[in-house]
Chains A and B, each alone.
Chain A
Amino acid sequence: MDVRDGLVVKGVRFRDHEVVGDILELAARYAAEGADELVFYDITASPEGRGVDRRWIERIGRLLDIPFCVAGGIRSIAEAEAVLAAGAEKISVNSPALAQPQLIDDLARRFGSQCVVVGIDSQTFEGRYEVYQFTGDPTKTRSTARATLDWVREVQTRGAGEIVLNCMSSDGVRHGYDLPQLQAVRAICDVPLIASGGAGTMAHFTAVFKAAQVDGALAASVFHKGLIAITDLKRQLAADGIPVRPPEGNSP
């Protein structure tokens, strides 16, 4: 869920965000429907140069009985500590880790790798996968000129416990996950890898688990728009032979 001012928003290809609902209501609904984990991105945090607003994290922490991760402008041990103390399982760093890669080492040493997710926004640029930065704000989004595969290797060496790879050209357009890119990253990724960007049908989820052996698949717009119900999706994945936690009887 992309969060701006306590509301959940969703853009297309990271732009033109529209409000899709109240954060607590949506979180409760997705947990009740069988989501295995929720990720909250404070999309305004990094571009405006401020830290995450933590009041909603505490409310989410009281509500949810499934794991959740918070991303957005976490630049220091102290900011990470406050987010974790509010009840988040994991913190995800993206732009601040690019600006200051040592942050990953520091966070992993202080909280353990299992807490430290590195989010990577990537798309093809002149024939190779490149890492992008400040993707929450279209006017500030830019390439870092870093090769995605190099960055994936580096963040693991520095102690990342999980990588969320968001394939930007697929994001919000619902044409399927970027399987070639995810396969390339999977081949060099020894920590859990989460696919993000592009889910449009239930078959896209099956395909990404089978073709790229990802550990999880993240999606937003198909759920926000009611195009796919999580309950149906999990039944379909199970029918396709992918091990999933069954949807029944897990509501908070």
Chain B
Amino acid sequence: MSFASGTVALIDNGGANVASVVHALERLGVQAERTASPERIAAADRVILPGVGAAADAMARLQASGLDRLIPTLRQPLLGICLGMQLLFSSSAEGDVDCLQLLHGRAQRFPTGGLPVPHMGWNELRLLKPSPLLAGLKDGDYAYFVHSYALPITADTLASADYGGEFTAIAARDNFYGAQFHPERSARVGSILIANFLRLPAGGH
């Protein structure tokens, strides 16, 4: 498989899952550049913001490198993964921190006392809105989730999943896309989503 995907910048923000995202892109024949350089990120045709860890720490790292100011100015497609998706939203209860505010909603901790937290494992997607990012996906497709905080269903939600209540699994606004699950570890379903992202029109930058 190959794509006219142009250059892909993978924002290296200190999270631990950067290598798995690199490997997933390689399996699709795409070589991404791991970088924290604002210039390299701004120049890329596509940008991926992975993330594992805590929201407040991740925002602090973005602020330290100036990326919190750069990212909102990007016009090329950007995909946030897991915590990377949550950072695109307004705020997070994890450390009570303001995020990038490109999508609207606040990440909340899963209620404890019911199901085990973190929500860790395969769960079904429910598609709510059409989007080129969802091409080839269908209701009931399974994706691999690992998270303790989640976004409610908002105006920007494209697909949901249910874990003691519905939450946002895939979201988008303008050129900013996000997946709460790990497409790089979601077998065929994840590979379809990444391939769809690589096929989105590159847009101006």
Contact = CB atoms under 8 A, between A and B. Distances in A.
A67 B120 CA distance: 11
Contact of B23 (A61, A81, A191): A61
Interface in A167-208: 189-193
- Chain A's interface size range is 20 to 34
Contacts, number: 91
Nearest to B20: A87
Interface string A3-29: 000000000000000000000000000
B168 interface: no
Interface in B81-126: 112, 116-118, 120-122
A205 to B, nearest CB: 15
Given A36-B122, A65-B185, A215-B121, A114 B147 contact: yes
A65 B120 contact: no
Contacts of A216: 121
Contacts of A190: 112, 116-117
Given A114-B148, A161-B120, A192-B116, A89 B20 contact: yes
Give the residue among A36, A86, A192, A252 with the most B Cβ atoms within 10 A.
A192
Contact of A65 (B112, B122, B191): B191
Nearest to B122: A245
Interface string B50-63: 00111000000000
A49 interface: no
A39 interface: no
Interface of A: 31, 36, 61-62, 64-67, 81, 84-87, 89, 111-115, 161-162, 189-193, 215-216, 245-246, 249-252
